[in-house]
Amino acid sequence: MTGVAVLGAGAFGTALAISLSAVRNDVVLWARAKDQIAKMSLDRTNAKRLPNCHLPANLKLTSDLQRACAADIILISTPMQKLSEFAQENRTLLAGKILVSCCKGVDLETGQGPVELLERIVPDARIAILSGPSFAIDIAEGLPTALTIASKDEALVSDLQATLATNNIRLYSSLDPIGVEFGGALKNVMAIACGIAIGAGLGESARAALMTRGNIEMQRLASALGAHPKTLSGLSGFGDLVLTCTSTKSRNFSHGIKLGRGEPIDPSITVEGVATAHAAAKLAAQRGVDMPITNVVRDILNSSITINEAVELLLSRPLKRE
């Protein structure tokens, strides 16, 4: 396999491109905005997303998608709710390629995770997902991380594990892309819930309860969709849940804190858990899966219940066996 393209020069795409460039000379980072690429080429940094991180000299930058898609392996790092539109618009360029989704979310329109969505739109591509606990800034700064690469295609996942591991990204492989994609997506909903709890002053014990019961919800929905429940105890499940529910570096957790404090929200920030809460609650209702935390997060986001009402709702549920 030769040539790696990273599509989407946001925080995560840029961080992955930096890390990969330390071990390969054939990495290209694509952004759709010509002026952004011109500025990044001049400054050798991504001023908007990772202002203090240097872009290595061997990392190629382009706004020419055709040039980027000459690579065999294509990492897609757009926000989840833009993935469908992006893949449809560019399906000819993506056809026949190895596509690795880096998105963490569930598509609101179809209820599909990134793997299923790409399989539908680009059926002749070979598809994998990269997910796990990792802040873009940590990866870009060379701090150690461990992530999961997953695909149903065993040969592909094994090749990608070797090809995409870097000096600071240790890759574990998985043959359960559904578990990996839903682990990465649903942890964002739980991070919003935990942020709300902390922001509203409900305490650390409440957060621990939300994380633990949230993890059970994640397992329940992912299993109903065909995942192996054990996958949700791995990096792209428990691992990312821990990271995202406990750090203010997380946009989802920080979004929840703002909601909990009644502070204004910046709509320009990518907060995947907002749309995913709605998509997951809908999927759960369709499949008869009990997801009380996800439902109250959705309702708080919709302003259809208050935080106090959410607490009352969760605490007044019938007592049950753990």
Ligand X SMILES: NC(=O)c1ccc[n+]([C@@H]2O[C@H](COP(=O)([O-])OP(=O)(O)OC[C@H]3O[C@@H](n4cnc5c(N)ncnc54)[C@H](O)[C@@H]3O)[C@@H](O)[C@H]2O)c1
Residue 199 interacts with, from ligand G3P, ligand X, none (CB under 5-8 Å by kind)? none
Is 8 annotated in a binding site? The answer is yes
Smaller CB separation from ligand G3P, 71 or 150: 150
Contact status: 168 vs ligand G3P (CB under 6 A): no
**Extended beta strands in 2-95, E state:** 4-7, 27-30, 45-46, 50-54, 60-62, 73-76
103 touches, from ligand X, ligand G3P, none (C-beta below 5 to 8 Å by class): ligand X
Out of ligand G3P, ligand X, none, what residue 191 binds, judged by CB under 5 to 8 A for its kind, is ligand G3P
What residues contact 22, with CB distance under 8 A and at least 6 apart? 56, 142, 166, 167, 168
Exactly one of 187, 258, 282, 320 is catalytic; which is it? 187
**Binder to ligand X among 64, 85, 124, 266 (CB under 6 A)?**
85
CB 180 within 8 A of CB 231: yes
Longest CA–CA span in the chain (Å) reads: 61
Q: How far, in whole angstroms, is CA 204 from its chain's centroid?
A: 25
- Binding of ligand X at residue 24 (CB under 6 A)? no
* 273 marked as part of a ligand binding site: no
Grouping H, G, I as helix, E, B as strand and the rest as coil, residue 61 is strand
8 A C-beta contact, residue 119 and residue 127: yes
- Indicate the residue among 31 and 139 with the shorter CB distance to ligand G3P: 139
CA distance 283 to 143: 36
Least separation in angstroms between CB 298 and ligand X? 18
CB of 222 to ligand G3P, least distance (A): 17
187 catalytic residue (yes or no): yes
Q: Within 13 A of 313's CA, how many CA atoms are on the CB side?
A: 16
In the window 93-152, what residues touch ligand X (CB under 6 A)?
102-105, 134-136
* Torsional sign, CA 254, 256, 257, 258: positive
Q: Which residues bind ligand X (CB under 6 A)?
A: 8-13, 31-32, 49, 77-80, 82, 85-86, 102-105, 134-136, 270, 272
Q: Which residues bind ligand G3P (CB under 6 A)?
A: 104, 133-135, 188, 191, 240, 243-244, 250-252, 272
Please list the active-site residues: 187
